[in-house]
Amino acid sequence: MLKMFFAFCAAFLLICGSYAAPAPSKAKAPAKKTAAQKRVRRNAVKTFYNAQFVKGKWNPKDWEMVRSWRFDHDAEFLQKANCIQNRVPEGVSDIELQGKKGSSGYAIMLLKEKFKGNTVITCNMEFDYRMAPGIIIAHEPKKLANGKLELREHFEVILYDDGLNLWHHYFEKGAPDSKDPRVKRSGVEQKWRKQCHLTEKKFYKPKTKYELKVNVRYTGRGSFIDISCGGRTIGSYAPQMPAGEYRIGLVGCEGRNRFYDFKVTNR
């Protein structure tokens, strides 16, 4: 009888315990993102390329050298302690680089990566005397029979002592009877026009680092290029920008130019 009593008590306590035990928790459904959170994600800055031109902090293999149609030489950039500089022949003076020997230091390199849509390009740069470091925005270069690349249509965003220039370089079919060896070789002739400019005499100083910022914008009203440097800003409608992919890079010309870094983002 006593055994039956204890068995009854144990069963009773077990049943009571099961009722008192907390119900197993249900897994929480992931919280839905608010419209504000979606906007933040959509508007987040994406970095496509970011490097300092210090040995070990950038990879030259990310870039390729590109020839100018105008000058028959292969230029290059030299690695310095904290920057890169367009190669200029020994013994050429700053004044000579502004004149008859201006092409001797002309150097272009483009990132191998191709870009599409809006980009913001920033580069800290400086010049020794008067001019003319810059940023290149280019259609796809022409691959020559020898495997080298040569620029075709492109924009040059140029910094110099008296201001900023946006040049549009374009190509037309060369005249069949042209005596120009470049036309005979390529069948085309390079021409250029100044798309927009800022002129402010001696505003930009030699051997002074400036951040040049270029904003490429594709909008419902067309494509635009905005440029800012040292507190000054200019901009231009740029319908000549490619509808698809384009290339981005650097140009050093008409002087000794130094480049310290390079960054490309989506906004």
pLDDT at 1: 46
Token pair belonging to 142: 């022409």
CA 235 to mean position of chain CA atoms: 17
Integer Cα distance of 29 and 178 in angstroms: 74
The tens digit of pLDDT for each residue in 45-62 reads 999 999 999 999 999 999
Per domain, the residue ranges of the chain are: 46-265
Rounded (5°) CA angle 231-236-240: 140
User: Residue 188: how many CB atoms within 10 A of its CB?
Assistant: 16
Q: How confident is the model at residue 230 (pLDDT cuts 50, 70, 90)?
A: very high
The tens digit of pLDDT for each residue in 187-225 reads 999 999 999 999 999 999 999 999 999 999 999 999 999
In this model, does residue 4 exceed pLDDT 80?
A: no
pLDDT at 19: 47
The structural architecture, per CATH, of the domain 46-265 is Sandwich (2.60)
Answer whether 62's CB lies under 8 Å from 112's CB: yes
Q: Which residue do the tokens 């000579």 mark?
A: 96
Single pTM value for the model = 0.83
